[in-house]
Amino acid sequence: MPEFMNDTALLWPLAIPLATAAICAAAWAYPRAQQGASLAGLVLTLAASLLLLDSVMSQGIVTKQFGGWAPPFGISFVADRFSAAMVVISSVLALAAGIFAIADVRRRQVKAGFYPLFQGLMVGVNGAFLTGDIFNLYVWFEVMLIATLGLITLDRTRAQLDGAIKYAVLNLFSTILFLMAIGLLYGVTGTLNMADLARVLPQTEGSVALTVSAMLFLLAFGIKAGFFPLFFWLPASYHTATIIVSAVFAGLLTKVGVYACFRVFTLLFEVNDGGIRPIVAFFAAGTMLFGVFGAAIQWDIRRILSFHIISQIGYIMLGLAIATPLAMAGAVFYIIHHIVVKANLFFVAGAIHRATGTYDLRKAGGLMKSSPLLAVLFLIPALSLAGIPPLSGFWAKFMVIDASFRGDMAWIGALALFVGLLTVFSMSKIWIEAFWKTSPRKVARVRAVPVAMLVPIAALGLITLAIGFNPEPLVAFANVAAATMTDPAEFIAAVFAERQIAGATP
Amino acid sequence: MNLVYAFAIAAQMGCGVYLLLSRHGMRILIGIVLLSTATNLLIFVAGGLRFTAPPVIEPGLQVLAAETANALPQALILTAIVIGFALVSFAAALMLKTYRSVGSVLTSDHVDAEALGSPFDREAPRNA
């Protein structure tokens, strides 16, 4: 049995959500059963992803060839430290969202298919993290896209339909660009397996098609991740969805785009050659700055947080722009910290809405007196996002900015520090308006926040505190993960090792 | 031969982008359809266009004979067509639903998402 689990560790984070989605869809008429099945599925997915992380930690990169087709002909699944960590952290977030859903998802939303779509989204996200085939990555992106479109229009209000159109059109455009990039890349190299591409591309002569392909990849993932000139769909749609959907989107979707960007621009293309570095640096700087400027004017909590997603993506891209192992480690650390903190802030926004009945900071207030526990729970992710020591955000920002000063890009490090200051401004705005000031409305209807909302907020807060007070294990992990990413040789060896074991003729 | 295809694809993509920039919802939709089919053609051409034998293994042989067509680009396009069809039908349904609830397909009339929690909302009290 342990051997079997070890052999198939790579498949369970995908198979369990897929099965859960099917069970939830079969139990369409029974909301209670769907809730139970969804929670059970999420717990099992987390267990499976921890198992995967454990086997990656003990045996290095884990690979699986589907249908027994030797690479590069079949579809490979690959888990290195980075992707295993992403699967674990997204499973943690999904479980937190599943618990939050007990208190937040209404019967009408369950009837609209919340649980099957949510599990479907997890299938897409985990698939995108684990696949080792560039065309297969496109397929997982589309699985994710169709699930998110269902989730964003859960209530079918006018605002949601409007937001969904903007979301759909720009994301469809992005996947079309992605497909074009794949087509051109295939035309030049004749292969789609990422490990094979990493082997073939350094020996391929540079051509226009390759450059165009690299730029198309950057643009496609840039739209997905929300880079500076391409992020407008994000703040136009995220705030319309129901809060739990916004939280999951904020935690996971843009990060899948960032993950794909890191994969393609470490394994396939080099940031150092072909003039990609100045473009990425420019994107990163613009993303940080304009995200935080956009947030400064907003009064709706969800809109403030949506703009902050963009701003934080800039910090992660900064790691890719510098592209030293130190910066990569900083980026890996930053992604893990950011998924936890950002989703947590959206959960807090949901709790604020439950307590005061509004997301609008101008109408909210008085929460400091009525729910002091929520105030403390808000402070942890908010200060962490702003990078106040000793919380996790401080170490994440420290690693990235330190790398930028060492990596001869001091201007962008200085910009990152300035953006951190403006982040403090936005977070203190939420603090002052929602918690500190007295409620502007005459009849203060402060409702109690249910335990099922507080538990995930507290749990994610504890993770933030744990990373903050004891960053050493995660820093060490990020360093090893970055070392694997910057040296594709290990990745290639892991994928092609299967062939010799299978005894196929070379 | 490839050049003819290149110009045809370029023309189709140009039309797609032009329609995508329109204010009319249906034109945007058709623009996406044009772009995604042009992309399928692009994969087709990038995979190599030649007059060759179909990729079928003859009886008695173990492997494909030399000079047969590459089957992979066609498999890729088939996948892309299926996925593209699903997404475009969803987008069409979304546009129809929006038309029914907003009463317009012009994106200039789609202002509900922007109005939700707008910072320029005059109704809301400021720093009461």
The C-alpha atoms of residue B40 and residue B57 are separated, in whole angstroms, by 26
The C-alpha atoms of residue A339 and residue A247 are separated, in whole angstroms, by 10
* Residue A65: strand, helix, or coil: strand
Q: What is the pLDDT of residue A430?
A: 92
Query: Cβ of A239 and B113 within 8 Å?
Result: yes
The C-alpha atoms of residue A420 and residue A425 are separated, in whole angstroms, by 9
Which residues on A lie below 8 Å from B128 (Cβ)? 362, 365, 437, 440
| Domains held by chain A: number | 1
Q: What does the pLDDT look like over B66-80, one tens digit per residue?
A: 777 788 888 899 999
Residue-number span of the structural domain to which A320 is assigned? 273-469
List, as ranges, residues 46-85 from B with C-beta within 8 Å of A: 46-48, 72-73, 76, 79-80, 83
Whether residue A325 is contained in a domain is answered as: yes
* Cα dihedral A185, A186, A187, A191 in deg (nearest 10): 130
Whether residue A250 is contained in a domain is answered as: no
Which are the contacts of B13, defined by CB distance < 8 A and separation ≥ 6? B34, B35, B38
Percent pLDDT > 90 in chain B is 51
What's B13's domain CATH number? 1.10.287.3510
Query: Which positions of chain B have pLDDT values less than 50?
Result: 127-128
Query: Cβ of A153 and B121 within 8 Å?
Result: no
Whether residue B15 is contained in a domain is answered as: yes
Whether residue B40 is contained in a domain is answered as: yes
Give the residues across from A131 on adjacent strands.
A77
Whether residue B78 is contained in a domain is answered as: yes
Q: Which of B79, B97, B27 is nearest to A156 (CA)?
A: B97
pLDDT digits (tens), chain A, 506 positions: 677 877 788 899 999 999 999 999 999 999 999 999 999 999 999 999 999 999 999 888 888 888 878 878 888 899 999 999 999 999 999 999 999 999 988 888 998 899 999 999 999 999 999 999 999 999 999 999 999 999 999 988 999 999 999 999 999 999 999 999 999 999 898 889 999 999 888 888 888 889 899 999 999 999 999 888 889 999 999 999 999 999 999 999 999 999 999 999 988 888 776 678 888 999 999 999 999 999 999 999 999 999 999 999 999 999 999 888 899 999 999 999 999 999 999 999 999 998 888 888 888 888 888 888 999 999 999 999 998 888 999 999 999 999 999 988 889 999 999 999 999 999 999 999 888 888 777 655 678 888 999 999 999 999 999 999 999 999 999 999 998 888 888 888 888 875 444 444 43
Nearest beta carbon to residue A169 from set B28, B79, B124: B28
Whether residue A158 is contained in a domain is answered as: no
Whether residue A421 is contained in a domain is answered as: yes
Whether residue A95 is contained in a domain is answered as: no
Q: Minimal Cα–Cα distance from A405 to chain B, Å? A: 37
Whether residue A369 is contained in a domain is answered as: yes
Output phi, psi for A323, to 5 deg: 65, 20
Query: Cβ of B32 and A176 within 8 Å?
Result: yes
CA-based nearest residue in chain B for residue A152 = B94
Report ipTM (2 d.p.): 0.92
Q: What is the pLDDT of residue B127?
A: 45
B43 touches chain A (CB under 8 A): yes
Q: What is the pLDDT of residue A1?
A: 65
CB-based contact A492:A198 (threshold 8 Å): yes
Which residues on B lie below 8 Å from A153 (Cβ)? 94, 97
CB-based contact A333:A395 (threshold 8 Å): yes
Which residues on B lie below 8 Å from A192 (Cβ)? 72
Whether residue B33 is contained in a domain is answered as: yes
| Domains held by chain B: number | 1
The C-alpha atoms of residue A457 and residue A234 are separated, in whole angstroms, by 24
Helix, strand counts (H, E) of chain B: 4, 0
Q: What does the buried/exposed string (b/e) look like for A287-319 if buried means 16 or more CB atoms within 10 Å of the residue's CB?
A: bbbbbbebbeebbbbbbbbbbbbbbbbbbbbbb
Q: What is the pLDDT of residue A190?
A: 87
Q: Which of A102, A176, A79, A146 is nearest to A494 (CA)?
A: A79
Query: Cβ of A187 and B45 within 8 Å?
Result: yes
Which residues on A lie below 8 Å from B10 (Cβ)? none
Residue-number span of the structural domain to which B98 is assigned? 2-52+70-106
The C-alpha atoms of residue A163 and residue A113 are separated, in whole angstroms, by 19
Whether residue B111 is contained in a domain is answered as: no
CA-based nearest residue in chain B for residue A238 = B113
